[in-house]
Amino acid sequence: MTWWKGPLVGFDLETTGTDPEESRIVTAALVDTVGGRLESTANWLLDPGVPIPAEATAIHGLDDGYVRERGRPAAEAVEEIAAALCERLTAGRPVVAFNAAFDLSLLDAELRRYGRPALAERLGGPVGPVVDAMVIDRALDKYRKGSRTLQRVCEVYGVELLDAHQAGSDALAAVRVAVALGERFPRQAGELRPEELHQRQIGWHREWAQGLQEFLRRKDADVVIDPRWPVR
């Protein structure tokens, strides 16, 4: 069975910001699927312990009062999220995300913040296999014009995205985009073993980062685009 027809787990975070080293998790979701069909969802709502900026609230709709009243203590929930994610990876279920380097790096940063073992320590090696729908789409349909947001990519691949910027909805949409990519690009992605696809994504992301860095350095010689994937 090809990977996109089998069990996958979608992963997504909604956060306080866009810097994975400094931002905090507000919500998280893991969605277990088979062939893009939803089996179960695990959701977490956290009190991040810091104020949620207004621009973040405008995106996911969660403010300080709501998370302080209903959210779990961050250290406790972060441990649960990491344990659940690693349980699925250890069982051989690939993790799917859209911009995995952000979500996985932020989760790792939160684990360090609370003195908990990092993902690689828990797994006894590199984090994977990971299927990043953004990285694959960017590499295999590189000449397509326009935005590469999850919403836009869902439109391109005919995936319905309900309740955008809700972690469970975004995680399921990422899985379904990955399934569509596997079906549309069998030779380059769909027929590969998950471990082989993971390695190719490392190269694809590095190539993209280097190209973007070269382009941006035409105006700012100090720009650095991190080439590491899936965890910075």
Of 47, 13, 54, 49, the residue nearest 31 (C-alpha): 13
pLDDT tens figures, 6-50: 999 999 999 999 999 999 999 999 999 999 999 999 999 999 999
Coil, helix or strand for 109? helix
CATH class (in words) of the domain with range 3-216? alpha beta
What span, in angstroms and rounded, lies between the C-alpha atoms of 176 and 185?
A: 14
pLDDT tens figures, 73-107: 999 999 999 999 999 999 999 999 999 999 999 99
pTM of the model: 0.95
Tell me: pLDDT of 164 over 90. no
